[in-house]
Structure 1
Amino acid sequence: MIPAIIGTRPNNSIALHKSGIRLLGVDDSPFRRGQQKSFIVGVIMRLDGYIEKVMKAQITIDGNDVTERISNMALKFKDIVRVIVLSGISFGGFNICDIELLFKLTGIPVISLFEKGGSASEMINAINKHLGDQEKIGILKRLKPIALNNNGYTIMANLAGIESESASRIIRMNTVRGKMPEAVRVPDLIAKIL
């Protein structure tokens, strides 16, 4: 049997049968109205959920710096991180991560997960109303969400640099219980205390 391979470059291809491959999971901290800054939390973990590194970076509320901040986190550990897993696409309000650009900057495949029912069109309307930022709207319009099944639950994903079959397999292998993988669950738990 040939193991599933992901990545577009030979030095970024990984065999999914190895539980020791590393993921970078990212989520954002809560913030209050009027705050200018917030944090994202990055957790490097093995596919089996073993945590190896926790880090944070400051982002601007409704800003345009989250793609760069996540890229910086990933590039520090480019030799070991094989997949970036994001909790959604929007961090610190409407600081939208451009997953295609993130993939281009890092060469690391990106999986952005969100609950079924999340709507890019609702975000577009809110951004139009409050910010009028056409760059953010353009990023959101380029997204092509797909439904994935994980433990009998349907979750939604946007992908860059990875096929849906490989993304689904990674999510399943990184999920201990419930619908979301550890790469989303653990950064969320840590970010809540910031």
Structure 2
Amino acid sequence: MNSDFHIKSEIRILGIDDSALLNKNVMIVGTVFRGGSWIDGVLRSEITKDGLDATDIISNMIKKSKHYGQIRVVMLDGITYGGFNVVDIEKLHRETGIPVIVVMRSYPDFEKIKSALEYFSDGKERWTIITRAGKIEKIAGGKGRNPIYIQKAGIGLESLKKIIQLTSIRSNIPEPLRVAHLIATGIILGESRGKA
């Protein structure tokens, strides 16, 4: 069900990003935001580098959080975490009951992804999860900045666009994801790096 709903300015959003791939366990960080204005909480967990546990671990991290009842949208920075640990966004939406928005800075290179997956014994399964995430749409970034690419589960396009506009305050990337990235890289590398 892709529903559009009324967006309050203080809608609770969980943005999730991963840290640098320094060892087998990869830290993921979630930031709970009220709209794009302020942070209400930080969640953390660990997934396996190139594993297939990201969906279940993210789902459990959300459901065990004291913020669970208030989170209205989950934002992911792409659908692969910790290398090629693919998130099944339909399953994540189903298990948590929360709509999922995938945000990407550029259109994925599917040929490159497909060739990389040939090195995995379960590459076909991972590819199925990637294709099941649905159509990739190009939408305007916040405040008229560079466009971003999105996929979605459980939310209509109009609601999604309103949420992106509301939360993209300092860049074309929504604040919940931008801050999750800063925290994750800062903790692992000693200082935040990369595009945020």
Specify the TM-score bucket, using the shorter chain as the normaliser. 0.7 to 0.9
Give structure 1 stretches of 5+ with no counterpart: 1-5
Distance 2:87 2:173 in 1: 19
Say which SS state the counterpart of residue 171 (structure 1) adopts.
helix
1:184/1:131 CA distance change after superposition, 3 Å: farther
- Of 93, 97, 121, the residue aligned with 1:103 is 93
CA contact (8 A) 1:26 1:184 kept: yes
Q: Which one-letter code corresponds to 1:72 in the other structure?
A: N
1:19 aligned onto 2:19: no
- Once the 2 structures are TM-superposed, how far is the Cα of residue 165 of structure 1 from its aligned partner? 1.5
Q: 1:121 aligned to 111, 119, 132, which one?
A: 111
Task: Give the C-alpha shift of residue 36 in structure 1.
Answer: 1.3
Relative to 1, partners in 2 of residues 1:68 and 1:21: Cα closer, same or farther, differing over 3 Å?
same
Q: CA deviation at 1:7?
A: 6.9
Report 1:1-194 matches (<5 A).
Answer: 15-16=6-7, 18-32=8-22, 35-75=23-63, 76=65, 77-142=67-132, 143-150=134-141, 151-193=144-186, 194=188
Between Structure 1 and Structure 2, the one with more strand by share is: 1
Shift of 1:130: 4.3
Find the aligned partners of 1:148 and 1:74 in 2 and give their Cα distance: 27
1:93-123 deviation line (CA, Å, top 9, x unaligned)? 0000000100000110000001123223321
Separation in 2, partners of 1:168, 1:14? 12
What's the secondary structure of 1:85's corresponding residue? strand
Task: Decide whether aligned partners of structure 1 residues 131 and 30 sit closer, same or farther in structure 2, where only a CA change above 3 A counts.
Answer: farther
Shift of 1:15: 2.5
**Partners in 1 of 2:36 and 2:178 — Cα distance?**
13
2 CA distance for matches of 1:80 and 1:96?
26
**Equivalent position SS for 1:51:** strand
TM-score after normalising by structure 1? 0.87
Aligned length: 182
- TM-score normalised according to structure 2 size: 0.86
1:179–1:7 Cα change, 3 Å? same
Q: Which amino acid aligns with 2:151?
A: N
Query: Which amino acid is the alignment partner of residue 164 of structure 1?
Result: L
Change (3 A) 1:51 1:63: same
